[in-house]
Amino acid sequence: GAVVSQHPSWVICKSGTSVKIECRSLDFQATTMFWYRQFPKQSLMLMATSNEGSKATYEQGVEKDKFLINHASLTLSTLTVTSAHPEDSSFYICSARRDRGRNEQFFGPGTRLTVL
Amino acid sequence: DQQVKQNSPSLSVQEGRISILNCDYTNSMFDYFLWYKKYPAEGPTFLISISSIKDKNEDGRFTVFLNKSAKHLSLHIVPSQPGDSAVYFCAASAGSGTYKYIFGTGTRLKVLA
């Protein structure tokens, strides 16, 4: 149990286009999902916290108009990188929290975004 | 400001010996700590966690020690196996409320056969 999937696993796009990444909890309902990005050989940086049915909470320095997050159901959150530029190229990872009151996150396999 | 630090970017250990990975934190509000293992181009895999009410938690070959006064935790892997070679991240959370994780910078462990 507690499987989180991401789609796509990798994507290459042209500068100026928008890219949507999906995060799904396959066998549980996720009250909260989180989006991280990781640059090569660096730590996972939390971008935003996504709660089902409400607006995402963004970390300081993360542009909410650049990284649109939608958490329409208890099993799906999407991250849309709008007007992507080469500096947005990164490894994006989502995680999902399963149970209320338990501090336990399950991570997806990540999505490699390359913007040309 | 890096609230969670792993000062050793890499560590090499002989197979069968003990691996000790260290992590320091600055925020005294953190009350829950975790260790994750990560391979390149994959998501992190949970290893072990510890609540601030404990100073030790053990799960098979993995033991996490927490020293709250020093704001320090460590992960011990005994015995180390070549399959343990990966990047290890510690993470900290301030608990109830947001349940956000703050990750450390990672330590690349290489277990030599």
pLDDT tens digit sequence for A95-113: 998 866 566 789 999 999 9
pLDDT tens digit sequence for A54-73: 889 999 999 999 999 998 88
Q: Which residue of A has its CA nearest to B37?
A: A107
Model pLDDT, residue B89: 95
pLDDT tens digit sequence for A30-63: 888 999 999 887 889 999 999 888 889 999 999 9
Model pLDDT, residue B40: 83
Eight-state DSSP code of residue A59: P
SS3 label, residue B100? coil
Task: Spell out where A1-116 has E strands.
Answer: 4-7, 10-13, 19-25, 32-38, 44-51, 57-58, 67-73, 76-81, 90-97, 105-107, 111-115
Model pLDDT, residue A101: 58
Instruction: Determine whether the interchain pair A112/B41 forms a contact, defined as Cβ–Cβ distance below 8 Å.
Output: yes
* pLDDT in single tens digits along all 113 residues of chain B: 689 999 999 999 999 999 999 999 999 999 999 999 998 888 899 899 999 999 999 999 999 999 999 999 999 999 999 999 999 999 999 865 567 899 999 999 999 99
Name every chain B residue with its beta carbon within 8 A of the beta carbon of A41.
106
pLDDT tens digit sequence for A81-92: 999 999 999 999
Model pLDDT, residue B99: 75
Instruction: Determine whether the interchain pair B101/A46 forms a contact, defined as Cβ–Cβ distance below 8 Å.
Output: yes
Instruction: Determine whether the interchain pair B98/A97 forms a contact, defined as Cβ–Cβ distance below 8 Å.
Output: no
Q: Which of B96, B65, A19 is nearest to A6 (CA)?
A: A19
Between the two ends of chain B, the Cα-to-Cα distance in Å is 38
Model pLDDT, residue B98: 63
Q: Does the pLDDT of residue A13 top 90, yes or no?
A: yes
